[in-house]
Chain A
Amino acid sequence: MRKLAFITLIVLTCWFAADSARAAEIRISQNATAGQPLSIGTGGSGDGTLYLVGPGQVIKRSIKLGNDVQIKGEELRSAGRWIAIIRSGSSSESSVFWVKPGAAESMSFLARPSRVPVAERNVISGMVFVFDKSRNLVLQPTPVNFSLAVNGSGAAHTVTSRNGLAWIDAGSGPKEGAAQFVATVGGTSVRRVVQQVASQPCNLRMHVSQRMKDQMVVETDPIRDCTGNAVPDGTIVTFTESEKNSKSTVDARIKKGVARAVLPASSNATISVASGIVLGNELHAGGGE
């Protein structure tokens, strides 16, 4: 009799353990996607509590064990590692699942710098971080189109993102102006403006435009860079007059495309002109050019 009671007790214990284990059963699709609805299957019977602990969210819900639990797309926003926990009485069971980012829908586009000289190689860099509509980084390779154009003429390149990032180094065009730097992912475009300005002066030349008794006026030709863009007004041009025992220097700003300086008249001086790292021609005052 005692033996029978003992066996019955063991059977009941096993049955209870099996039932408890079944109560804790969680079934989750391994293809969950952020922003998409998700169905979570549960086993067992009775009441329980479902916890979903995600990277940027926690969802807690009272559930009937044995029924499927529907999670709405707008509730499942964070991509990454999630933990599903079902608690029933004092027992709990958990399962880890992954939520993939959704389709690429937005981006962060960083373009540097905002102002560059024309005709320079690899001076403009553009970086695009690709996000889904819930701002998860889209890690699947995604084509990103970069275009850089001034007045409609320019170049375009398509770069495939890696780890959610696509980047490009681009050269500036030959013409000055506001370059439109546009990145496009799917149907979304983001525009940045990169101001292309004239580069260093090219063929810097000056001449004496006026001679007076005690002074002379020297003036440059219209100052342009090597691709023909006018160097901006305000750029400093330095005129230097060197005599045997003295030196006079005048820093003049370009005004209406030319720079002009008044120097002391001399019977034997050398006048030079420079702007930044560019040297221009030399004049010999007194002895002729």
Chain B
Amino acid sequence: MKRARFFVLMVGIALAVSGGVPLLMRAFADSKPNVQLNTDNSGPRQVEPSTQKAIVRDYSSAWQAINTALTNNNPAPLNDNFVGFAFDQLTQRVKDQQHAGIRTRIVDHGHKVETIFYSRDGSSIQLRDTASIETQVLDGDTVIHSDQTQVQYIAVMTGAEDRWKVRVLESTPSGQ
């Protein structure tokens, strides 16, 4: 009798875990990625505290938009966070994915970002981002590629109406 109870309890826990883990993963995937910003090496202008907060908020939002756009093959989330070449490039990627019938899911484990340039007039900022990301490429619902790695990005953000928008986002081999 005791064994049967224990068995039922274990089955219940297993069910809860199997249901809860994907739910939690989905919830974390939809939340904004963690961005740690270091402004010690910025120049020629120091990054003001309010700008630091805005950069963290908007760069994180940009990555959330990338994930949403590439997962759902919908370029709409890119409108609020990207401009110029970065916008054109990501929009083209979404179109190509639609055409090829694939999707890309990014599980974002966070970004260590340092400012490497902040223009004297405060209109442009350049960032070096070491991103810990897991990338899954899906053909239909089948995962055809999965990797987890650290990727270095060089990003340029420019001030727009009410936020900073990503103008350039280019991945580079680490150490460059």
Q: How far is the CA of A129 from the CA of B155 in the complex (A)?
A: 12
In the complex the two chains form, is B119's CB within 8 Å of A81's CB?
no
Q: How far is the CA of A81 from the CA of B123 in the complex (A)?
A: 28
Q: How far is the CA of A51 from the CA of B170 in the complex (A)?
A: 20
Binding site of B, secondary structure by majority: helix, strand, loop or mixed?
Answer: strand
Q: How far is the CA of A131 from the CA of B86 in the complex (A)?
A: 13
Question: Given known contacts A81-B151, A92-B145, is B170 in contact with A165 (CB within 8 Å)?
Answer: no
In the complex the two chains form, is A167's CB within 8 Å of B93's CB?
no
Q: How far is the CA of A127 from the CA of B124 in the complex (A)?
A: 10
B89-117 contact mask (Cβ, 8 Å, vs A): 1 or 0: 11011001101111010000000000011
In the complex the two chains form, is B89's CB within 8 Å of A125's CB?
no
Question: Given known contacts A78-B89, A83-B145, is B104 in contact with A53 (CB within 8 Å)?
Answer: yes
A-side contacts of B126, CB under 8 Å: 163, 165
A-side contacts of B135, CB under 8 Å: 83
- A residues 151-174 near B (Cβ < 8 Å) are 162-165, 167, 169
In the complex the two chains form, is B170's CB within 8 Å of A136's CB?
yes
In the complex the two chains form, is B121's CB within 8 Å of A125's CB?
yes
Residue on B nearest A131 in the bound complex, by CB: B85
- A residues 70-103 near B (Cβ < 8 Å) are 78-81, 83, 85, 87, 92, 94, 96, 98, 101
- A residues 165-215 near B (Cβ < 8 Å) are 165, 167, 169
Segment of A56-64, A142-150, A244-252 in the binding face: A56-64
Q: How far is the CA of A94 from the CA of B89 in the complex (A)?
A: 23
In the complex the two chains form, is B137's CB within 8 Å of A80's CB?
no
Q: How far is the CA of A87 from the CA of B143 in the complex (A)?
A: 11
Question: Given known contacts A94-B144, A129-B168, is B117 in contact with A167 (CB within 8 Å)?
Answer: yes
Q: Which of A57, A83, A85, A165 contacts B117 (CB under 8 A)? A: A165
Q: Is A139 an interface residue (CB 8 A)?
A: yes
In the complex the two chains form, is B154's CB within 8 Å of A139's CB?
yes
A-side contacts of B145, CB under 8 Å: 51, 53, 83, 85, 92, 94
A-side contacts of B144, CB under 8 Å: 51, 85, 87, 92, 94
Q: Is A110 an interface residue (CB 8 A)?
A: yes
Name which of B100, B128, B149 has the most chain A CB atoms within 10 A of its CB.
Answer: B100
B162-174 contact mask (Cβ, 8 Å, vs A): 1 or 0: 0000001111110
Q: Which of A78, A131, A139 contacts B172 (CB under 8 A)? A: A139
In the complex the two chains form, is B119's CB within 8 Å of A55's CB?
no
A105-146 contact mask (Cβ, 8 Å, vs B): 1 or 0: 000001011000000000001010101000111010000000
A-side contacts of B121, CB under 8 Å: 112-113, 125
Q: How far is the CA of A129 from the CA of B119 in the complex (A)?
A: 12
Q: How far is the CA of A277 from the CA of B119 in the complex (A)?
A: 29
Can you offer 28 A-B residue contacts whose CB atoms are under 8 A?
Answer: A51-B100, A51-B102, A51-B137, A53-B104, A53-B145, A55-B89, A58-B93, A58-B99, A59-B96, A80-B170, A83-B135, A83-B147, A85-B145, A87-B139, A92-B144, A94-B137, A94-B147, A98-B172, A110-B124, A113-B121, A129-B168, A137-B154, A137-B170, A163-B116, A163-B128, A164-B154, A164-B170, A167-B44
- Given contact pairs A60-B100, A139-B172, A165-B126, enumerate 11 new A-B contacts (beta carbons under 8 Å): A53-B145, A55-B93, A56-B89, A80-B171, A80-B172, A81-B171, A87-B144, A101-B170, A110-B123, A125-B119, A125-B121
Could you list which residues of chain A lie within 8 angstroms of chain B, going by C-beta atoms?
Answer: 51, 53-60, 78-81, 83, 85, 87, 92, 94, 96, 98, 101, 110, 112-113, 125, 127, 129, 131, 135-137, 139, 162-165, 167, 169
Closest 4 CB pairs of A and B: A56-B89, A58-B96, A80-B171, A60-B100
